[in-house]
Structure 1
C-alpha cells in the first residue's frame, strides 16, 4: 500500500518545525489517499500554523481551464487566509508574500515530464526561500508514469524558460521530492530542504498500481492515459497542430484541418513503433487551436506502456506531417510560457537541434540516438538523488 508524503505528514514531520508559521504550495491533486485536501489537513494540523496558501498554474482549485491563463490571488472563504498566485504577475514568491513565513511546504502532483510547470514553480519557491533563509518541506508524491523510464533530450541552459529552468530530460523518471533534492544540491545549496518520502512505492510502479486516488492535477490531464502520452505529445503545443485541447482526450488526440487521417496513419504505421496503435479520426475542438473547425488526425492508443516511447512517437508524428505536407510551416510563433523570442518548440525541446532535424527529415533512429546519449549522461547525475528502488 502506497502512502504519499501528506499521508505521513503528522507522524514524520521533524519536531523542529512544530509550531512554525507555514506557507503551503498546493493544487487540486494535493489530496491524501482518503481524498482529503492537503489544504484542510494542514490548516487543521496542530503541528504547524498555516499563514498563507500559494498556487501554481491553474490555481489551487484548477479553475483556469486552458494553458497560459493567468489568475489573481484572493482570500480563501473557508480559512480566511490569503491565496497567492504564482502564475500571474509573479511566478516567484515575493518578499512580501513570504513575510512572517517560517517554513514553506510543497505538495504538488507532478506528471513526470519536464515541461509540466509545477516543478518550476517549486524551483522558484526554492530560490525565494533560499534568499529569505526559510526552510522547505516537500511532501513527496508518485511519478504517475513510473520512475524507471527516461526519454528525450536534456535541456540546454540557454533555452531555460518556465517549461524548463534547469537541465532535465523530457521524461525524467523522478519524483518531485527527488527533483527537489537535485535542484537543492545543484542550484540552491543554501536552502534547508526536507523531503517527507513516499511509503511503499517502487520505481516501476505506475499510478494505477498504487491504490492511490487519481485527481486531475490540471484541467487537461484527466487520466493516466493522458499522462502516458504527454511527454511526447505536449511538443505539439509548439506547433500549429492541435494537441487535442478542447476535446475529451487531450494529448491522445492530435491533428489539423488540412490532415487526411487515413494517409497520416498509413505513414505512421510504417515506423513500426512499439506499444502503440494509431486510429484515424476527425474531431472538432471546443477551444484552443482550431476551435469549432473539423480536424483530421489520429488518436494514440497505448497498448503496451512499458514498450511505448511517447517522445519518439511525437517525433514520428512531426516527421510524418512534415513529409506529407511540406508546404506547411509547422512551428508556432512566440510568445509562449513567458518566452517572447525563442520559438515555443525550441524551448519545449530544450534546444533548436530537434526542430532542425525534423526540418531536414533526418531518420528517426538517428534523432533518437543523440538524445539517448544525452540521457545516458544525465543518468549519472540523476542516480545521486533517487530515493526509491
Structure 2
C-alpha cells in the first residue's frame, strides 16, 4: 500500500474524479471539538471548512471574532491574518509561475537574480533550497535592533551568514521566503502585493485575499486588538508586505485555492499553475538523505484516513501559520481542510495545534481507513499520467531539431557508443550522416567499444553500416591523436554517463577536449541526464595527486553533474581552454532519476544493466579494485559483493546491524564467470536498494570496506581500494578502525566547498 500512496501523490493533477466523501454525521464531532478548545482558552474562535474538488462538505464558525465585553461572534466570512500560509498561497505560487515562464530556475543560485545576495557565504544557495528550508539560513532576521522598511530588511538579509552549508540541514526560516519575495519583485518588475493580486488572487476569484487589506469589521484582530495589520514582527517592519507573511484571507477564498490545486492548477477554466508545477510543489523535494519531507514550499504528511499513523508520510500536503491558521490538501482522498483562527488574540497566547490534530482525527474517523479499492481506483490514471509525462529532450534531440545547423559545412568526428540515440531510438551516426551540409568523417569509441559490449581493450576498426573509421579511445591510446584528428573540423561528443567519478566516459570527454584545444578545433557536447540525479553530491574528493583515467580531476565520487556541466567545469578548472559548445537538454530537472525522464534505458556499459545497479555503482565500485568480486560475470553486477574467504552470514549480519539508510543486506553465494574469482564460489552479501533517495552510495562503499577490513583484516587488501575511494585519508581512517559515520562526516566540509565551486557550471 505504501508504494501506491507514493504513486497516488504523483497523480495529484491526474487522479480521476472520485473522492472519499466523509460521513456527515461523523463530522458533527467537530463542533464539540472546537467548542472544547475555545473553552480551554486555546483560541477565541475559529472557522473550519472541509471540502473537495466538487463542493463543501462542512463549513462552520465558532466562538468570538474579538474578545470584547459585548459579544462579537465569529462568522464564516471572517478575514484572517494567514501568517506563514503566505509562503505557499502567495510566494511559492508566484515563484512557480515565473519558473514556468523560464524567468526563474529552481536550481539556479538566488544570487543569479539578486547579485548582492551572494555576500557572506550565500553564493551557492539555490531557489530550491530556499523553498524547502534547506538553505542553511537562520530562522529570522535580527529584531534586537530598531529597523524599519524594505531597504533596511534587504540590508540585513545581505549581512546574514548561513548557519549550515546549503542542502545539509533542515531549518524552517522566514528569511528563505523574504528572499524569494524579493526575487519575485526583481524578476517580474512588479511589487509582490500587486503581482499576487494580478496573477493569483484575482484570476481565482479570491476577492477577500491580499496584502494590506482595507479596513473592515470582518477582519479578526490579533494581539492587543491589532486589526488589519500583519502580526508577524518582521513583515510588520517591512510595511506589511513580505514573502513569508502578510496575506489576509477567508476560508472560502482558501477553498478556491485548494480546489485549484486538486484540479491540477486550474479553477473554472482559469489556469494558474501547470500540472507539473503542482506536482513539483507537492512531491518530496528535500535533499537526498534528509528525513524531513518538504515539497516546494509545502510540508508533507500522511493522507486523511483513520489509519494515517500507519501510512507513509507522503500523500497530503499543507502548511500552518503562527496566528493559528492551516491549510491541508489530500490528493488521495481529494479533500482539503481549512482551519482559521486568531489564537494569538488577545494576549499573544493560545495554541491551535490541539485543534488541528483533533479535527484531523475526526475527519479520519469520518473517512475510515484507506482501502485497496481507493488505491485501485487511481490505477487507470497512473497509466494516463505515465503516457502523458513529457519526455526529456537530450542535446542530440535539440541539435537534430535544429537540423544540426551549427555543424553545416564542417567535417565532423563523432565520439559515441550505443547510448547515442535520440528519443525515438535513432542513432546519432545515422542522423548526422543524413544532416544537410554535414560531413561525418570519423567515429571515436570509449571504453567498451562502439557497441558497449566489450569488457577488454578495444581495437580500432570500421563501423559496419557506414564504413566510417572507428578510432578506439580504449586501446593503444586513450586520447585522440593528431593523426586521428586529421581532416576533422569539429568534434561532437554524445555518450550517456553513469554519474560516478571513476566511470571513464568523463575522462574520455576531458581528453577529447584537450586534443580539440591542441588542434584548435571546436567541440560540441550533446548533454544527457545524470542517471542517478544531478542534485546529489556525495563521497570523498579525489586526492589531487591521484588523477588518472579513472579520475580526471579532484571531484567527489558523485559530483552531481551531467557531462555537459562537467565539460564546462573541466574546461575552466583544468585550464583546458577548448572552444566548447554544450547543447543543453530540454525538460530535464536536476532531481530527475533516469526513469523520470521518459527516455529509453540503454545499458551504458556491459555491467550496468539497470538503474538500480547504476545507483549502487558509486558505492560498490569504490571497493572493486580490491580482492573481491562485485558480481561482474553474474546476473547481478554491483548488487552483490563476495569472495571465497568471506563468511556470508557473518558479513550480512554485521552490515545489517549497521542499519544503512536506503539499503539492506542478505547472505548470498555466487560463482562469477569473469573477474578475480572466475569460476570460484564466492560467499558474500546481496545488497537490496530499498530507497534510492535515502541511500548515500559512497557511504555504502565505506561501510563495505570497513566491514571487510574489520572482519577479515588478513585477507582483505584494503590498500587496493585507494583507486576507487580516491582519498588516502579515508583509507587510513578505515584502517584505524574509525566508525564509518565519522569518516563520512569528515568529508562534508569538502563537499560544501565543491558545491560552491561547481555552482557556476550548472545548466539546470
TM-score (norm: length of structure 1)? 0.93
Per-residue CA distance 1:61-87 (angstroms, 9 max, x = gap): 1231x3xx2111112221121100100
Per-residue CA distance 1:310-357 (angstroms, 9 max, x = gap): 1111211111111111221424xxxxxxxxxxx652232223222211
Per-residue CA distance 1:196-250 (angstroms, 9 max, x = gap): 1111011111001111000011101111011000111111222101111111111
In the alignment, what sits opposite 2:761?
A: 385
In the alignment, what sits opposite 2:634?
A: 247
What SS is found at the alignment partner of 2:483? Answer: coil
What's the Cα RMSD here? 1.4
In the alignment, what sits opposite 1:337?
A: none
* Aligned equivalents of 2:467, 2:431: Cα separation in 1: 15
Q: CA deviation at 1:14?
A: 7.2
Q: CA deviation at 1:270?
A: 1.8
What SS is found at the alignment partner of 1:153? Answer: strand
1:231 aligns with 2:618: yes
Q: CA deviation at 1:147?
A: 0.8
What SS is found at the alignment partner of 1:238? Answer: coil
Distance verdict in 2 for CA 1:15–1:32, change over 3 Å: closer
In the alignment, what sits opposite 2:569?
A: 182
Q: CA deviation at 1:10?
A: 2.2
Please show how residues 107-256 of structure 1 align to structure 2 within 5 Å: 107-256=494-643
In the alignment, what sits opposite 1:347?
A: 723
Distance verdict in 2 for CA 1:14–1:42, change over 3 Å: closer
Residues 239 and 345 in structure 1, CA contact (< 8 A), matched pair in contact too: yes
1:75 aligns with 2:462: yes
Greater mean alpha carbon deviation, residues 105-114 or residues 348-357: 348-357
In the alignment, what sits opposite 2:693?
A: 306
How many residues are aligned here? 374
In the alignment, what sits opposite 1:60?
A: 450
1:19 aligns with 2:395: no
* Aligned equivalents of 1:121, 1:49: Cα separation in 2: 23
Q: CA deviation at 1:58?
A: 0.5
* Aligned equivalents of 1:47, 1:3: Cα separation in 2: 23
* Aligned equivalents of 1:166, 1:254: Cα separation in 2: 28
Distance verdict in 2 for CA 1:330–1:231, change over 3 Å: same
* Aligned equivalents of 1:145, 1:185: Cα separation in 2: 25
1:49 aligns with 2:425: no
1:371 aligns with 2:761: no
* Aligned equivalents of 2:544, 2:662: Cα separation in 1: 33
Q: CA deviation at 1:12?
A: 3.9
Residues 260 and 297 in structure 1, CA contact (< 8 A), matched pair in contact too: yes
1:7 aligns with 2:394: no
Residues 400 and 431 in structure 2, CA contact (< 8 A), matched pair in contact too: no
What SS is found at the alignment partner of 2:485? Answer: coil
* Aligned equivalents of 2:567, 2:736: Cα separation in 1: 38
Residues 10 and 47 in structure 1, CA contact (< 8 A), matched pair in contact too: no
Residues 513 and 576 in structure 2, CA contact (< 8 A), matched pair in contact too: no
In the alignment, what sits opposite 2:681?
A: 294
1:91 aligns with 2:481: no
Greater mean alpha carbon deviation, residues 372-381 or residues 9-18: 9-18
Greater mean alpha carbon deviation, residues 8-17 or residues 314-323: 8-17
- Higher relative contact order by CA 8 Å / sep ≥ 6: 1 or 2? 1
Residues 141 and 177 in structure 1, CA contact (< 8 A), matched pair in contact too: yes
Higher Rg of the two aligned structures: 2
Greater mean alpha carbon deviation, residues 253-262 or residues 8-17: 8-17
- Work out which of the residue numbers 29, 34, 40 in structure 1 matches 2:424: 34
Residues 56 and 87 in structure 1, CA contact (< 8 A), matched pair in contact too: yes
Poorly superposed stretches of 4+, deviation over 6 Å: none
**Gap regions ≥5 residues in structure 2:** 1-389
Q: Please identify which structure carries the higher helix content.
A: 2
What SS is found at the alignment partner of 2:722? Answer: helix
Q: CA deviation at 1:17?
A: 2.8
What SS is found at the alignment partner of 1:105? Answer: strand
**Gap regions ≥5 residues in structure 1:** 332-342
* Aligned equivalents of 1:19, 1:277: Cα separation in 2: 55
Residues 127 and 188 in structure 1, CA contact (< 8 A), matched pair in contact too: no
Residues 444 and 471 in structure 2, CA contact (< 8 A), matched pair in contact too: yes
What SS is found at the alignment partner of 2:624? Answer: helix
Residues 161 and 347 in structure 1, CA contact (< 8 A), matched pair in contact too: no
* Aligned equivalents of 1:17, 1:29: Cα separation in 2: 21
* Aligned equivalents of 1:263, 1:166: Cα separation in 2: 38
* Aligned equivalents of 1:35, 1:261: Cα separation in 2: 42
Q: CA deviation at 1:11?
A: 2.9
* Aligned equivalents of 1:249, 1:165: Cα separation in 2: 28
In the alignment, what sits opposite 2:644?
A: 257
Per-residue CA distance 1:5-53 (angstroms, 9 max, x = gap): 1111123477443120000000111111111121221122224210100
What SS is found at the alignment partner of 2:521? Answer: coil
TM-score (norm: length of structure 2)? 0.48
Q: CA deviation at 1:176?
A: 0.6
